[in-house]
Every structure is written in C-alpha cells, then in structure tokens.
Structure 1
C-alpha cells in the first residue's frame, strides 16, 4: 500500500516500577538478609559463594545482564570489563543465546575482583530476588541459617575421620567396590559377543538431574509421556522453577525439602539433624543404575562424598531372591561378607553410613509407609540392626530414621512407583532428565572409539529431528549407536540409505541380530512370529518380564537365537535358581509385536485388531501402532525380508487402508483435545509409513489445521518430535489457509522443526508459545523467503523484547505477503516500537495492521 495510507496501531503497556509496589514484608526480608550478609567475614562470604556457585550461575543466567549492569553502575566493573574479558564478551554471549556461558564468565569475573565485588554481587541479588525465584530461594536459606551457614559449609567439606580399627576394613571395602563398579558391562546383542566391557570413566556421559522431581500423571505410554514432559520441563526451566543438581549434591541440605540445619549439642557445629533420604526417579533406560554405579565408584576412589565412611549398594532385583526374613546385619554380610569382623562397629556412627537401594519398581514385595494423619503403622518397624524382619521392613525403617537414625539412604525408581513414597520422610527428591544439549554429543563421542565415525553418526542423528529427540534417553542413544554405526564403518552398508524414521531404525536393529544370529536356528521367521505373539500379549497386559511358562504358551524354547532378542536375568528363590526374560527396552518389545503382524500366514481380521488397539484409552498401543504403520513401508520391510522372507502383502494393504481411514476420519475433527490428539497420532502413522502417495491423497487438500486454542487447557501440547511430524504433513499439503498453534508450548526447538513448512501457511497463529527473541530471529528467515505466503502472523504473549525488533524489521522490509502482525502482551518498549515504526515508514511492506 502507498506509504501515505499506512496505519499502525501500537498498544504499549509499561510495567510498574517494582520499587513502588514492594510490600512492607518484602522490605523486612531484604533488611534481614542484608544484615545476615553483612555479618559474614570476607572469608565466610567467599565460602558461601563457592558453596552456592552452581546455583548462583543458574540464577545469574535467569537474571540476565542485571547483575553485570549493577556492578558496572557501582563502578566495580569498568564499561570495558562489562563488555569484554579477553576474547569473550559477557553481553555478546548472552545476546547470542549462550546465557549459561555468559553467567559463568560473569561469576568468574566477580570472584577475580575480590571481596568488595563479591559483596556488591550479593547486594544485587537481594535487589533482584523478587523477580528471580532461584535467588529468592538461596537468600532464604542463608537468612534461615545466618552465621551458622559458613560453619556448616566448613564441616560438610571436611573428610570424616575414620577410627583406626575401621581403616583396614574401609580400605578393603573400597578396593572391592572399585573392582565391582570400575567396569561398565554393555549387552551388545547386535554383535557376536554378548557382553562388551569398557572402563566406566571412559564410557560414562554426564546426565542432567533436577530437583525437585516433577509430579505428573503417567497415563500415556511412558515413552510418549517422557518426551512431552521433557519439553514441559524446558518451559519450567526457562522460568527457573527447577534446579539442576549434580550427582555429588544429592545429600546437600540446600536441595532438601524438609531437612533443617540445627546447632549440635556441643559447640557451634552445624549438621543435618538426622541423616538424609534421597529419591532419584527416571523412566526406563534413562541411566539410574549407571548413575548409582558411578556414585559408588567415585566414592570408592575418593572423588565424592568423603563424609561417608562406608557405602552399601543393593539392587531390589537381587533382594527379590531373599525369600526369608533377615536383619540389616544379614543383608550387609550377604553382599559384603568380608566385613563380618567389623560390621557391629559400624552402628556406633550411623551418620557415616550411606545405604543405596536401586530399582524400587522391580521390588516384588509391597512398600507401605506409616500414615502420619491416621497414625497407622501398616508394616513392622525394625529398631535395631539385629532386628529380624522382611526386607521391606528394613528399607522402610532406614528411610523413616527408625533404624540407625542419622544414616543416609538413596533410592532409585521409575516415576510410576513414586506414589509408594508419598508418605515417606524423603529429604531430597531428584529426577534424571537424561541428556540435554551437548551431553548427547558427548555420549556418541564416548560410544565410538573412532571420532570420525562418532561425528558422522551424531551429525545424522542431529539432522533428523525424530532421531535427535530420542537422544535424551541413554538407552535410545545406545540403540542408535549400534544400529547406525555400521552405515559409517562397513563398506557394504555405506551405499544404503541411513534410517530416518524410528521404524527404519528398529528394522536395522533387528536386521543386525538376524545377521549375527540368524544361522543358529532353522526358521527365524517362525521364532520371530511366536516371539512377537508373546510380545503383543505383554503390551496388551503391560507386562515386560516373561517366565518359562510364557515361553511354553507360545511354543518357544530358550536358545542362543532367542537370547539375541531378549535379556536373561537370573533369579534365586531359596535353593531354586530360575531365569526370567525381558526385552532390552519396551519399544523393542512393541516393535517385535508389530513385526509379527506381517509374518503370520493367517492374519485374520488385522483391521479389527488395529481398530481395537487404537480405541484403547490409556495409550499402551500407541507406539505399537506407529510401528505397524511404519512396517508397511518398503524401506523398513526390505532389510528384514532378507532373512525373514516376504511380508504378507494382504496385511500391508490392510494396514495402508487403515491408516488412510484414520487420517480421513480425523481431518476437521479437532474441536476437542481428544480430536486434536487423534489427528496428531494419524500424522505419526503417515510419517512412519513414508508413503508419499498415501499422504498426498489424504492430507494434500487439507486447508486448516487446529491444534491450538485461546484456552491453554484446550490446546494440545506439542513436543519437538510432534512438530517435526506436523511439518512433514504440512509440506505434503497444497496450501494451508490457517495453522493454529496457540498455546501449544512449542518453544524455539519446536519452531525449528516446523520451519521448513511455515512459509506455506496463510494465517499462522503462534501466540503463547514462549518463542522468545530467538524464535523471531528464526521466523524472520521464513518471512524473507520469496515463496513466503504468510498474510497474518500472531506472536502475542511470546516473551519478546526490544532485541527482536531488528530482525523483525529486517524481514518486514523485504517481505511482500504479510498484512497483519500481532505483537501484544510482550515486553516491547519504546525503542523497539520506534524501530518497527521507522521500518514501516521507510519500506514498501504490505502491513495493514500492527497490534
């Protein structure tokens, strides 16, 4: 439109001055914590600062450049120091999105400046505490403990002195633990050798752990729930409601929910009042057991937890074999018999003992804690190490501080069993999120000895949104490494297409097993058919552990070939030894169950089976159905048919018809959240099938897609993997008149996955997605595309600041399609609006309305 006719409507809401709205209560808190900080000597304040370093760096990251600006204003930094330190710049790192690196650099600058700068930094924290939850929490802890905080830190950092009569026993104990935990055993079921042993330190990749644990309903399949919850955490993490915690901090009081520091009976020594009970949760394959192995190994080698004189680690899976009552003394001597002469001496100092119990979800006995409200005590309590009781009684008594009060306890469990611990006296709750960011790359670098191969595999994974999203879970990384490695190491595989869907990936996983073990049995097709039938029954009944009777029902017998697919776990019941079987991961069980549908000579009514599985409300068949759809693809079927023979054509055709029926039935039926979820699932089926003709025939004419809503409760949460699948569907459409993703929490990572298809949309609604300035930078690239068809773009409520307007203005100056831009409920101030206004006045853009 002609410049003279341009109209721009700008709505600006200026934030109130926080200093004018502070309550008397907050002023009192500020005065109190300031006085507490003033009372610290320079030496004490240094100790406190170092003690909180990790958390302070996270808080500085949240506070942005505020701390640096305050220090510059108070002349502790010069303007040049605010901008640069050597070759790295604090502000440039922050602006480029590397806020964690920026906060570390700023923290180090302050520490180098000395005591006066440290005091100024703490004063700036006090001023910012109301808007930064992490700062507020740290300051509350300091305020509560007062001068005792510095004394406590000194005590906890000192090594616990061990009596002379226990020195030899401790040395022997550490030596044995080093031997038990120093090597990492990997079940390389894809290779000819069953077990691969590596040094723990060489293979261990750091995991991200948060505190406290998130509360959620695991109604859906654990894989799906974990993926979505992982992204939900990212949203919470941006608001800094959760804190990262290192493995050597699991017993720190600062992460405690219910433990206070109190003066001891003599002197001013400060200590935990009666030990610490910590729970670490995480989904299958996330690394709980390996984390425990690393903790025990690091203690035994003197790297962590020097205040514990003895650490005892038990697996609930092993404790299941004890089909009798026992004492704590019996328990220790069963696994550590060499301590028989000194075990009774250990009771003298309970605070020096750590008991670890791994895998509560695998425990066969029930765990019931006393109800504080009703006063009921449903299980027996053991008050003495010589007291005999059930294993569950001993565990409960240790956690409840009835047995050896003062000792510490660490439990691991899947999230599904957390409700068992709701009434327990747990001090610290933590959750393993798995790999975040560069931790994924670290895993592959340690997985492959050849770093060229590691880089090639990771590059392929990183470029494939579906595979990359799986990589938060170490067990998925393991499967990816084993399955993708041969494509970059074996000459006969380098010419083949590398897997890009989950179905294709798992097809090559099974292909490798068949290649290495297929000649060990006459008819691998028959065995896999029977194995798949058993796997399907397990999926239907939520069963992952199988016994001999389960094998007999399916006419299966233990064999070397069968052991290529399933792990054998020995169990002991008194004098009787038995073996149970489990797939390496639930998703492998689901894949084998799906594979069986294509191997049966008499498929029956496969359509009926698919409809019944799809109608199940708890999502247990969701991944199974994705694999079924994926196996209808020639790319996924071809490698398996080399060993199993051709898939049943009749089944393949019926699966394709079913997918078509589901897509056509769901398009347009997105008013309810269930309807939105069902449509998204059908897009997953389409993606896995890689059937371009089917996809174009079903979604090609689709013009409107609605997964969002003005009510965030009715919007569908979309993870990055969902966004990648959605983008794939949109790219197959001729045109999209409207894509509604309001309040879908896609954030920057989800927007990255959607980017290839966004230019096809006429109306793009992205309100309430916390995209941030980096999201606008990405959208600006889309707007500059000459093929861009976006006419209306909704970016309200996305935490945008003035920093984004330069990129946005640059895009608007070249874009010729956009007519409406909606930016309300963001943090745009006068400078940003002024820049946008100047852009609109000095360019030939088509903007008709700017909100």
Structure 2
C-alpha cells in the first residue's frame, strides 16, 4: 500500500494494463473520487483476487518501474527479495499466526498471558469536565495507525521538538514522498535497505505524547496474539522510568518485572537469538546514555548499571544474537552514537484522516465529532498539534462539552471557545477544578508547588519525578487533584510520576509565575527559555505570553484567586524587548526563526495593540528563501491583521504549502507590496 500510494498512478496502471491485468480508466476514476488509500486498497485486492499470475505480473511491473520511481519502500522490498533463498521462511517467521513453542510450552504460555493482560487495554484518564468515567478501553478498538518513517539524519534541532515535528509532518504530507520510507511495526526487524542488513538494534523516536509507548504496546500485543515476529520466543518490555535502581544484573532486571520466569531464566538465556528486549523512554533514563562507553558486560549475572546492561545488549556483548528495540525523544539523539542502531525510525503522528478518526472515536456522537473537528480544523493554532494523540485527547476533553448536541448552549460554546493554545489549556485546567471541591487556598497552594516542580523540569529537561520531588506538596501525593495533572508509575518499592503530557508541564511552569510572582525568578526563566539552543523553552514562552492576556487569565481566577498583574506587565515588557532585538531592523540579516518565535508569542498574547504600536503600519517583513510551516502562516496572519497595513512582505523563493496559503490569504490584502507571492509557492 505504501508503495502504490507513493508511485505515479499512471505509471503503475499502464504497466499493469500492458500485462492485461487492469483498466487504467477504472482505477483513475477510483483515485479521483476517493483518497489514495482507497485507491491502493482497491487495486491490491483486485490483483490478489485475479490469482497467482496477476500477482507475479504486479511484481514484474514494480521491478520495471524502480529505475524511474526509486521510492525507498519499493527499493527496500525488491532488495529484500534478492537477499536470501529463505525469504519465504523468514517472512513466515515474522508474520505467522501459528505460535511455535520452542522450549517449554507452559512457561511461554504463562509469559504471553502475562503480557496480554498488560497490553490488551489502553488506560484512559478520566476526562476533566465530563460526567462519564472513562476507564480502560480495548487496544484493538481505540488504536489508530501512526505515520512511522525511516530517518537516519538527526541533527541538533533549533526549534521546540513538538513545533518542529508538526511543521515537518505537514511538509511530508504535502510533498511528493520520493525520499520518505514509511515503516509499519511489523517491518522494524525486517531487512533494512539503508543499512543493508536485518537489524538487531532498532531505535524508534518521537516527540512526547506522539504514541511511542502505545506503539510499543501494540507491538507486544500483536506478538502475543501471534500476528508478528513469531521468531521471538520471549519479549521483555521495560520502561526506563521504572528502572530507578542504581545497579542490578540482567537476570535480576528480568525477574523483577517477570517473576514467573525465575526458574526458567537460565535456559531462556541459552537462546539469545529468540529474545527481544524493548526499552521505552530512553530520555527518561536517570543516568545519561550515549552508547559510546568502553565499559560493557557479557555476563547475565554481573551487577551493572542500567546504562551498561542496555548498551551491552544493543552492542551485542551481552546475549549476542538478541534483538533490542529502544524508544526516545528526538532531542536526545544528537548525543547518542547512532551507529549502534541499524534501523532508526521516527513516529510522525496522525495523518489528517486519523486525526478525524480520533475525534469520532472519542466523541461517539457523529454530529458532535464533526462540529468539534471542523472547529479545530479551521483554527490554525489548535490544528497544528493534532498530529499528537495526547494533544487530541486534551482538545477533545475541552471541546466535548462545547459541541455536545444534547445539551443547551453554554458560555463555553460562545464566549470561551479556545482560540489559542494557551486558552485551550486554561479551559482544560478550569474543567479539572470544576470536578474538585478544594477550597481556593488549597487549590492555589497545590498548583503553586506543582508549578514550581514543572518549571524546574522544563528548565532542566526533567520529565520523570519521584516521591522525594513531591515531599513539599500540601496533602497526599495520591490526591485526586494531583492525578488530574500527573500519572503514577509503580515499580517494585518506588513510584515515579510524570505529567500527562509535556505541554501540560510547560503550561503549569508558565502559570506558576502568575500564582507566585518573583521579579528575579521570572526574569531568569524568561532569559533562560529564550536562549535554549534546542528551542525547548518555546512553548513555555508562548504560554507565559498567552497568560498575559487579561481575558484568558481571568478564566482561572474563580478557582485560584487573583493572579499577578505584575507578571503580565513584566512579560509584556519582555515581548517589547524581544521585538526590538529580533524583529526590528537592527541588522541586515535578521534570524527569521527568531522573528517567528516572537510573533508566535504575540499571537498567543492576542495583544493587537502591542503589535501595532511596536511594529507600526509601514513594516517590511522578509521571509524570502524560508520554509513557512502552516503554524508559521497562522502566526504571520495575526501579525498582518494587527498591523492593519504592511508596506512589504517578501516571500520570494519562500516555500509555503497549500494549507499555509489558506491561512495567510485573509490578510494578504493588507500588504502593499507582495514580492513574488505565486511564483515560488509549493502547492
């Protein structure tokens, strides 16, 4: 399907027509009336129904087309077919639904049953503001496919990873995908065209909340049910956040997680080629891991640090022949020796179709789902982040009451419909407080403690917290209010905590400065967030700017009391300084990304007056030779609207997608001189 979707439709249809297998006109009609996926499914099903000779003719056609259409997915499959005369046997081992018990059936059955119980349900948090309790839902009912691509070019990013990935995904979705190899989870350990081997160490990366853990859960669930990788007799799944103990052996690590294997472990380890170790969340490891160490172990009973054990498995000094699958955030990869991994893939998130599918699954009522998705789709600020499943959950919980067709209209449906990401998270927090009866002082005290912990985590890039981090909290760490913001992970004798999503942590980190104002603390945080080279302070700056808007901030005051006006004034002063430093023509070659970051903060603040008074009506904006993602265009649209009249907007040699153009067009009439607008636009 990936291959058919990526190839020029006329080329493949003409080849198949030449072999008298299909009608070109028939499938062109299907493609024109439906999505590329519907067209691909229809074509492949019809080819299979025609029988063996048609299938062989189909592959002959693809073989002929590879020179003119060297798509990575096509080259990878054809390459795999030529590698071994055992290809059918190997594929059967990967995808066979027949479970082969190699050693001791009772032990393997018990292990599979244990993993089935752990993976068959998705744990869904209670949606704040909804009366219905949402509990565990079957994974098979809720799981939606994620876009996973082969990616071996990781560089140090200069933009917040969530924002950057959203822009990259939009670019992938709108360009001809000539260099984009999509990888389904049942091919992660198949032949890798780029490294020219069957990989034993695989790395899957993705931004927080994009679905790394859920994809791993789906991987294990499908293995348990005999759908993929039956060449592995045992799969062991660990989370780095749970591996807090300083030192242990591999044998101890496995038994701690899987006590039922205690008496069988020695025999299991005798067949390493039948073992798969999954380690989720490398970025949450307590000790930094770079895969460059000279200290490796080769004994399963040797007491070592987590880093040594994981690196030894990945580099094949421990249990040589085993397979290892590791997940991580992209920001950590610039410090890692990536040569250890023979396949590197990145989860890009939901396609537009899957985004809409998520809304329909969550909201159940088709009319409510359609209204909610349409509102988000029309709002560039909100829609950009919908490629992240966790973000979709947040936005659905917020808007579910606003667009519920079975309830009477409320303020939420009119006055408080979120227009910015800050407003979205403000409404999310308000919904949480509506469901709790805490008094003002208790709620404010708890949010203050939680906020300072979040702030420290944002500044120092900490995502996982422990009991000692919660000691200063008023009340128990098991409080229902705390569980609305954080999730708890229990492993052996310790607990770890993390915020439901990175953006919730970033929002609370910004919000705490309005709860507990300190001029020096705020100045330090603003200055630090602005200069982080990897951009991880960008969302913090957007949230703290968004909260400077009085109307947005006032929504929270019924629950936590009066918020700091001094913080708002200091933030606005910070924005004025940023405009002078990064936007106004102090140098001949301004940093366009820094300009857009400032514009994004202004858009969150909704401060039209500030934009007009500082930029003026004769502003010249230059984005020539620059890639403008759809979110950038939404932000730029706000700036143009606020300025009311812009002298010159230079988009020469600027790359803008169709979606970006749609977001810009409402205010282009305010530009006096629009340089080379149409000539270089990528549609």
Fold match (TM-score > 0.5)? yes
8 Å CA contact 1:82, 1:91 repeated in 2: no
Q: Report the counterpart of residue 66 of structure 2 in structure 1.
A: 129
Q: Report the counterpart of residue 741 of structure 1 in structure 2.
A: 651
Match of 1:230 among 169, 172, 178: 169
8 Å CA contact 2:149, 2:346 repeated in 1: yes
Q: Report the counterpart of residue 353 of structure 1 in structure 2.
A: 275
Match of 1:257 among 180, 188, 195: 195
Q: Report the counterpart of residue 24 of structure 2 in structure 1.
A: 82
Partners of 1:554 and 1:692 in 2: CA distance: 39
Going from structure 1 to structure 2, the CA distance change for 1:635 and 1:469 (only over 3 Å counts) comes to same
Number of residue pairs matched by the alignment: 677
Going from structure 1 to structure 2, the CA distance change for 1:301 and 1:622 (only over 3 Å counts) comes to same
8 Å CA contact 1:205, 1:446 repeated in 2: no
8 Å CA contact 1:700, 1:734 repeated in 2: no
Going from structure 1 to structure 2, the CA distance change for 1:92 and 1:656 (only over 3 Å counts) comes to same
Q: Report the counterpart of residue 284 of structure 1 in structure 2.
A: 208
Q: Report the counterpart of residue 427 of structure 1 in structure 2.
A: 342
1:723 is displaced (CA, Å) by 0.9
Q: Report the counterpart of residue 652 of structure 1 in structure 2.
A: 568
2:585 is the counterpart of 1:669: yes
Partners of 2:141 and 2:596 in 1: CA distance: 41
1:720 is displaced (CA, Å) by 1.1
Match of 2:595 among 657, 661, 679: 679
For residues 439-492 of structure 1, the C-alpha deviation after alignment (integer angstroms, 9 at most, x for no partner) is 111222222344443333222211211111111111211211222222234644
Partners of 1:420 and 1:168 in 2: CA distance: 43
2:127 is the counterpart of 1:203: no
8 Å CA contact 1:670, 1:676 repeated in 2: no
Rg bigger for which structure? 1
Match of 1:242 among 157, 168, 180: 180
For residues 368-392 of structure 1, the C-alpha deviation after alignment (integer angstroms, 9 at most, x for no partner) is 546xxxxxx7113215x45554443
8 Å CA contact 2:10, 2:24 repeated in 1: no
Going from structure 1 to structure 2, the CA distance change for 1:164 and 1:311 (only over 3 Å counts) comes to closer
**SS state at 1:739 partner:** strand
Unaligned runs of 5+ in 1: 1-53, 261-274, 371-376, 710-714, 767-792, 800-851
2:155 is the counterpart of 1:216: yes
8 Å CA contact 1:177, 1:297 repeated in 2: yes
Q: Report the counterpart of residue 284 of structure 2 in structure 1.
A: 362
Going from structure 1 to structure 2, the CA distance change for 1:193 and 1:602 (only over 3 Å counts) comes to farther
Alignment of 1:1-400 (within 5 A): 54-58=1-5, 61-72=6-17, 74=18, 76=20, 81-84=23-26, 89-90=29-30, 92-93=32-33, 98-113=35-50, 118=55, 120-134=57-71, 137-138=75-76, 141=79, 144-145=82-83, 148-150=86-88, 152-154=90-92, 156-158=94-96, 162-163=100-101, 166-188=104-126, 190=128, 196-234=135-173, 238-254=176-192, 257-259=195-197, 276-321=200-245, 323-328=246-251, 330-367=252-289, 369=291, 378-383=294-299, 385-386=300-301, 389-400=304-315
**SS state at 2:124 partner:** strand
For residues 650-674 of structure 1, the C-alpha deviation after alignment (integer angstroms, 9 at most, x for no partner) is 4434544543554466555396665
Going from structure 1 to structure 2, the CA distance change for 1:549 and 1:159 (only over 3 Å counts) comes to closer
Q: Report the counterpart of residue 459 of structure 1 in structure 2.
A: 374
Match of 1:473 among 388, 402, 407: 388
Match of 1:486 among 393, 401, 404: 401
2:361 is the counterpart of 1:437: no
Going from structure 1 to structure 2, the CA distance change for 1:540 and 1:731 (only over 3 Å counts) comes to same
Partners of 2:540 and 2:200 in 1: CA distance: 42
For residues 180-237 of structure 1, the C-alpha deviation after alignment (integer angstroms, 9 at most, x for no partner) is 22222233373699983222222222211112354121343332333334345447x6
Going from structure 1 to structure 2, the CA distance change for 1:569 and 1:130 (only over 3 Å counts) comes to same
Unaligned runs of 5+ in 2: none
Going from structure 1 to structure 2, the CA distance change for 1:284 and 1:388 (only over 3 Å counts) comes to same
**SS state at 1:280 partner:** strand
8 Å CA contact 2:290, 2:337 repeated in 1: no
For residues 549-570 of structure 1, the C-alpha deviation after alignment (integer angstroms, 9 at most, x for no partner) is 6556798974727615642646
Partners of 2:57 and 2:305 in 1: CA distance: 56
Partners of 2:240 and 2:394 in 1: CA distance: 26
Match of 2:316 among 387, 393, 401: 401
8 Å CA contact 2:441, 2:560 repeated in 1: no
Partners of 2:274 and 2:531 in 1: CA distance: 54
For residues 483-534 of structure 1, the C-alpha deviation after alignment (integer angstroms, 9 at most, x for no partner) is 2222234644445431110010011111122222352563433443444344
Partners of 2:230 and 2:469 in 1: CA distance: 47
Q: Report the counterpart of residue 22 of structure 1 in structure 2.
A: none
8 Å CA contact 2:619, 2:646 repeated in 1: yes
Going from structure 1 to structure 2, the CA distance change for 1:720 and 1:218 (only over 3 Å counts) comes to same
2:663 is the counterpart of 1:753: yes
**SS state at 2:515 partner:** coil
2:536 is the counterpart of 1:594: no
8 Å CA contact 1:633, 1:690 repeated in 2: yes
Structure 1 range deviating more: 214-223 or 280-289: 214-223
Alignment of 1:832-847 (within 5 A): none
Partners of 1:472 and 1:670 in 2: CA distance: 37
Partners of 2:107 and 2:529 in 1: CA distance: 57
Partners of 1:325 and 1:611 in 2: CA distance: 41
8 Å CA contact 1:369, 1:424 repeated in 2: no
1:636 is displaced (CA, Å) by 1.2
Going from structure 1 to structure 2, the CA distance change for 1:255 and 1:487 (only over 3 Å counts) comes to farther
Q: Report the counterpart of residue 16 of structure 1 in structure 2.
A: none
Structure 1 range deviating more: 662-671 or 728-737: 662-671
8 Å CA contact 2:161, 2:535 repeated in 1: no
State the structure with bigger RCO (CA 8 A, min sep 6), 1 or 2: 2
8 Å CA contact 1:520, 1:561 repeated in 2: no
Structure 1 range deviating more: 637-646 or 501-510: 637-646
1:580 is displaced (CA, Å) by 4.9
**SS state at 2:104 partner:** helix
Partners of 1:550 and 1:556 in 2: CA distance: 14
1:163 is displaced (CA, Å) by 4.7
2:556 is the counterpart of 1:640: yes
8 Å CA contact 1:666, 1:678 repeated in 2: yes
Going from structure 1 to structure 2, the CA distance change for 1:640 and 1:426 (only over 3 Å counts) comes to same
Going from structure 1 to structure 2, the CA distance change for 1:344 and 1:683 (only over 3 Å counts) comes to same
**SS state at 1:486 partner:** coil
8 Å CA contact 2:298, 2:318 repeated in 1: yes
1:350 is displaced (CA, Å) by 3.3
8 Å CA contact 2:96, 2:227 repeated in 1: no
Alignment of 1:693-704 (within 5 A): 693-699=609-615, 701-704=617-620
Partners of 1:178 and 1:154 in 2: CA distance: 22
Q: TM-score, normalised by structure 2?
A: 0.87
Match of 1:724 among 604, 629, 634: 634
1:697 is displaced (CA, Å) by 3.9
Structural RMSD (CA):
3.6
Partners of 2:226 and 2:89 in 1: CA distance: 23
Going from structure 1 to structure 2, the CA distance change for 1:670 and 1:681 (only over 3 Å counts) comes to farther
